[in-house]
Amino acid sequence: MVFTISCQKEKGTDLRKPPGTGPDPNTETNFTNPILSSGPDPWVIKQGEYYYYTHTLGNRIGLAKTKAVSRLSQSPLNTVWTPPAGTSYSTNLWAPELHFINGKWYIYFAADDTRDINHRLYVLENTAADPTTGEWVFKGKIADTSDKWAIDGTVLEYNGQLYFIWSGWRGENDPGIQQLYIARMTNPWTLEGTRAMLSEPTYAWEKNGLVNEGPQILKNSSGRVFLVYSASGCWTDDYALGMLTLKEGGNPLIPGDWTKSPNPVFKTKPASNAFGPGHNSFFKSPDGKEDWLIYHANSVAKQGCGDTRNPRIQPFTWNADGTPNLGEPVSTGSPIPRPSGEVQ
């Protein structure tokens, strides 16, 4: 969820190296977080040798193209689509995601008509090989039959079937109370039937603000499916990542086939200047040998849901049982080896 965001291209103070702190720790082999000074709800996808990046801009959608995510600040975030004025999707564009499905590009984003109660999810399509080129065509609203408040849409591809997962309200007007929902997709812009609720805040760490949002799919090397999500309100420093695990051979539409981890899998670490880390996505290193997490966090406590949230990346590992081990936030300014195989 986003309350206030910047509508400017990335500029201003570079938070990666505070003034007067000695030699720059960013080198040919190392980088430091954050990778941009601002960027709520960061999303990365790799296609071929390029990575494509986006984050919440509020009044438009922008994409950056790079071969090196750790050098993202060198790649401009160019506007690829701006909504027309006076529609149900003209304002408060949140958490865009770029997906490549059946040979075409799709962007999923939330938007409203200036009133948050009217937030819904929408889809754009582009047939160009490079999503920073070509024409983005508005396909319309994507909703199940209930058509309730909805944000943070993402796609699960599982056993040849597409599923859409998002954060929504149970009723018509439930501000501040969000659950995770899923529905089958008949194509990349259409849902079938009624949604099923996969998760709602149940543990104490999910209840500082009764929010489950920002669902993201992660698969291990054997294809096991994990759903990592953000819990508690983004306006608090308790904002953290939780995880659901789909049982092997399970049906994603059956809530009982998912198991929620009892503790957050990634959370605030004041010593690392990482407050309210969340709304993440995942990517692999250029050579495919490493798994990486991208997320936003505030560098100072109690900064909430604004454009002070900055994107950070770090590698993660896997436990012996096949579950991800996201670790804990790496401190801002601490050198991190660049992703394996990355070249300038």
CATH code for the domain of 291: 2.115.10.20
Rounded to whole angstroms, the Cα distance separating 144 from 146 reads: 6
Domain of residue 219: give its range: 30-337
pLDDT score for 138: 99
12 within domain boundaries: no
Q: What stretches in the chain show pLDDT beneath 50? A: 1-21
221 within domain boundaries: yes
58 within domain boundaries: yes
11 within domain boundaries: no
Q: What is the pLDDT of residues 180-194, one digit of tens each?
A: 999 999 999 999 999
317 within domain boundaries: yes
pLDDT score for 10: 34
186 within domain boundaries: yes
Q: What is the pLDDT of residues 42-67, one digit of tens each?
A: 999 999 999 999 999 999 999 999 99
Catalytic residues: 41, 213
pLDDT score for 344: 65
Query: 147's torsion region: left (phi>0), alpha (psi -120 to 50) or beta?
Result: left
112 within domain boundaries: yes
pTM confidence score: 0.93
Rounded to whole angstroms, the Cα distance separating 22 from 327 reads: 28
Domain count for the chain: 1
169 within domain boundaries: yes
